[in-house]
Amino acid sequence: MFERTIKKRVDVIGTGLHSGEPVRMAIEPLPSGSGIVFEHIKSGEILPLCVGNITETKLATVLGKRPNSVSTIEHFLSAVYAYGIDNLKVSIYGNEMPIMDGSAISFCMLFDEAGLEMQDAPKSLMVIKKEVKVEQNGKFASLKPSNKPKFNFSIDFDHPAIGYQKFGFEFSKKSYIEEIARARTFGFLRDIQYLQSINLALGASLENAIGLDDNTVLNPEGLRFDDEFVRHKILDAIGDMMVMGRTIIGEYSAHASSHELNHLLTKKLLATEGAYEIVTLAEIHESKELVKVFA
């Protein structure tokens, strides 16, 4: 199997979740070996996607340094991971990715519109060779060896609409689209009111997030899944793992993890000797089974 890009340029206009401002974005194909590259149009600065270029993780995953950074990249990158895209240019007219409907499904639809194109370089994968784990105040995120990519997540919120939720799945593009891509981000009314008072979450609405008061879900249409909250956490985690630029052959597990913990996990993985190996699909014994992951 070979590297992938998209067949044609696609443009989109949306709203920034935190800025509330209109955002224009274009995605374009790039040659083999280019990786995922962001361009901050106002400054002309080029921001290659890599763990070392992540500068903030408090409310979202942020690439590059202010004032030429690009925020809230995780939902888009989650879809990039799902479609097995290796090379892509993302041009942003602003400082934040469009939030779309708060999930990744709109980005999946963009990739469907653009089409996928096989390239001439063999696709490389990151194979986890030994377990790496980060912990913080009862929360954790880990990667351990597995012959297939898997994601597991649990959360526990003191809220009647959420409570304890756990979800796990064996990753493939098909299972991602069916089980993860439509899960929306969520926020509590009390938190959103505070964030907006300090000029954050200015674009948040029930059109692009699940809103909750102290007792219930505020969206009139309700939830897309009974456990949509934990599914969205997996969506975020997949996007945060894509910062490493490759599909991971291993098992990700987490409890109450965050963008910050996910970032610490990627840093620890890269810093731990013998924790991973970069190989082509042809070099993996189970390669025929893994091809189905990207179908």
What is the per-residue pLDDT across 66-85, written as a single tens digit (0 to 9) for each? 889 999 999 999 999 999 99
Q: What distance in Å separates the CA atoms of residue 146 and residue 80, rounded to the nearest whole number?
A: 22
Whole-number pLDDT of residue 21: 86
User: Distance between CA atoms of 127 and 247, rounded to whole angstroms?
Assistant: 9
202: left (phi over 0), alpha (psi -120 to 50) or beta: alpha
Between CA 95 and CA 99, with CA 96 as vertex, the angle to 5 degrees is: 160
Q: Global pTM?
A: 0.95
- What are the residues whose beta carbons fall under 8 Å from the beta carbon of 160, sequence distance 6 or more? 215, 216
- Domains in the chain and their CATH numbers? 2-122 (3.30.230.20), 125-294 (3.30.1700.10)
pLDDT (tens digit per residue) in 151-203 = 999 999 999 999 999 999 999 999 999 999 999 999 998 888 888 887 777 88
Q: What is the mean pLDDT of residues 27-54?
A: 95
Kindly tell me the burial class for residue 133, based on how many C-beta atoms sit within 10 Å of its own C-beta (0-12, 13-18, 19 or more). middle
Please report which confidence band the pLDDT of residue 20 belongs to, taking 50, 70 and 90 as the band edges. confident
pLDDT score at 203: 83
pLDDT of 251-294, one tens digit each?
999 999 999 999 999 999 999 999 999 998 777 765 666 667 76
Catalytic residue status for 259? yes
Going by pLDDT thresholds of 50, 70 and 90, the confidence category of residue 1 is confident
Nearest CA-CA partner of 235 in 15, 79, 63, 14: 79
Q: Which residues of 228-258 are buried (b: 16+ CB within 10 A; e: fewer)?
A: bbbbbbbbbbbbbbbbbbbbbbbbbbbbbbb
For residue 146, which phi and psi values (nearest 5 degrees)?
A: -160, 145
CA angle 260, 200, 179 (to 5 degrees): 55
Which position has the token pair 């083999």? 32
What mean pLDDT is predicted for residues 128-137? 97
Residues listed for the chain: 295
3-state secondary structure of 108: helix
CA-angle at 80, arms to 77 and 84, nearest 5°: 140
Nearest to 233 by CA among 200, 186, 173, 170: 186
Token reading at 89 = 């240019």
- For the packed helices 74-82 and 228-241, what is the interaxial angle rounded to 10 degrees? 80
pLDDT of residue 153: 98
Read off the tokens for 239.
């996007």
Distance CA 98, CA 76 (A): 9
Q: Which of 18, 40, 232, 259 is catalytic?
A: 259
- In the chain, DSSP finds a helix count (H) and a strand count (E) of 7, 19
For range 18-30, the mean pLDDT: 91
259-271 vs 228-241: helix axis angle to the nearest 10? Answer: 40
Amino acid at 170: E
**Mean pLDDT lowest for which of 9-13, 46-50, 222-226, 279-283?**
279-283
